[in-house]
Amino acid sequence: MTDQDAGWPALPLEAWEPTRATLHMWTQIVGKVRLALSPYLNHWWHVPLYVYARGLTTSAIPCDGEIFDIQFDFIAHELLISKNDGTTKSIRLMPRSVAEFYAEIMATLRTMGIEVKIWPMPVEIPDPIRFDKDVTHASYDPEYANRFWRVLVSIDSVLKEFRGRFIGKASPVHFFWGSCDLAVTRFSGRRAPARPGADKMTQEAYSHEVSSVGWWPGDASVGGPAFYSYAAPQPAEFSKATIRPAAASYNTKLSEFVLMYDDVRNAKSPRQTLLEFCQSTYEAAATRGKWNRAELEREESK
């Protein structure tokens, strides 16, 4: 096994697509539980999941004076629900329909005294199927689920390193289950113009100027897993910026810079290659957007 395979494993889209599609729905169910019970936080930061030592976690969720969390364990292939009274329940991660998974997790929560109601409709995907009606997505390949998590582990550490270079407002590194991506966002500190006609979630997410970078499993339109970076609002000439590494390019359909995951994992130093992409795309946004970089960046990061 090469270093790239150990920390940056191959994740061919076609090979793991059935598992990806099913896992996407499972994470949406768990994420909606967190959304339903967590206090509101700016920019919808109360909804994502987080990378942890065995998979993805909700972190602590308050409920009737107690707390619980839900963890996807992609080593033992279990979903663990743990409550602060010491109660723990597990659900086996294996090939099963979204409808079956949804029914079991909601029933398990009830047996633990956790009452929660969620909107059972997936978001941010074409042709959504209600969770309780979805028998189409029913795949789970433990090898690819584990690879997916190992990819997130490697990227999470690099994005946290990049985040640490910034002393302005920045989001945590978090996994957005709606779009199935791991991302971190920097803020200029200035309000952004309102977006006419945008929904409530979009208005709140982009209430201030941002530069965001992340990774998503990709789809047929980009050819596989990819890193992305965008600025909102996008400053003039942003798309013409010179970005590192040379393999990165501006995708006019997505209105963001894209760097294929395989170009990073096959690089001599995946970490350094990803940091270059993060830094150069941020500089393109901050310089052209006239951010006060002297007040926002650590001296040693310049």
| Residue that is last in its domain, among 106, 133, 160 | 133
Evaluate whether 54 touches 74 at the Cβ level (below 8 Å). Answer: yes
Q: Answer yes or no: do 166 and 292 share one domain.
A: yes
Q: Answer yes or no: do 208 and 286 share one domain.
A: yes
Contact partners, residue 235, CB within 8 Å, separation at least 6: 285, 288, 289, 290
Q: Answer yes or no: do 115 and 251 share one domain.
A: no
| Within a domain: 140 | no
Q: Which pLDDT does position 1 carry in this prediction?
A: 37
| Within a domain: 146 | no
Q: Which pLDDT does position 299 carry in this prediction?
A: 79
Q: Which pLDDT does position 196 carry in this prediction?
A: 85
Q: Answer yes or no: do 73 and 160 share one domain.
A: no
| Within a domain: 145 | no
Q: Answer yes or no: do 296 and 159 share one domain.
A: yes
Q: Answer yes or no: do 20 and 121 share one domain.
A: yes
Q: Which pLDDT does position 301 carry in this prediction?
A: 55
pLDDT in tens, 266-294: 999 999 999 999 999 999 999 999 999 99
| Within a domain: 240 | yes
Strands 226-232 and 249-251: unpaired
Q: Which pLDDT does position 195 carry in this prediction?
A: 85
pLDDT in tens, 134-175: 999 999 999 999 999 999 999 999 999 999 999 999 999 999
Mean of the pLDDT values across residues 202-217? 95
Q: Answer yes or no: do 230 and 181 share one domain.
A: yes
Q: Answer yes or no: do 166 and 266 share one domain.
A: yes
| Within a domain: 209 | yes
Residues making up the chain, counted from first to last? 302
Contact partners, residue 125, CB within 8 Å, separation at least 6: 24
Q: Answer yes or no: do 232 and 284 share one domain.
A: yes
pTM summary value = 0.95
Local confidence band at 6 (pLDDT 50, 70, 90 cut-offs): low
Evaluate whether 8 touches 151 at the Cβ level (below 8 Å). Answer: yes
| Within a domain: 115 | yes
Count of domains for the chain: 2
pLDDT in tens, 74-120: 999 999 999 999 999 999 999 999 999 999 999 999 999 999 999 99
Residue 179 has a CB neighbour count (10 Å cut-off) of: 14
Measured in degrees and rounded to the nearest 5, phi and psi for residue 216 equal -140, 155
DSSP designation for 296: H
Residue 259 domain boundaries: 151-301
| Within a domain: 26 | yes
Q: Answer yes or no: do 121 and 232 share one domain.
A: no
Mean of the pLDDT values across residues 259-266? 98
| Residue that is last in its domain, among 86, 101, 133 | 133
| Residue that is last in its domain, among 101, 133, 165 | 133
Lowest mean pLDDT among 2-6, 164-168, 207-211, 259-263: 2-6
| Within a domain: 33 | yes
pLDDT in tens, 37-75: 999 999 999 999 999 999 999 999 999 999 999 999 999
> Could you give the percent of the chain with pLDDT greater than 70?
97
Q: Which pLDDT does position 221 carry in this prediction?
A: 84
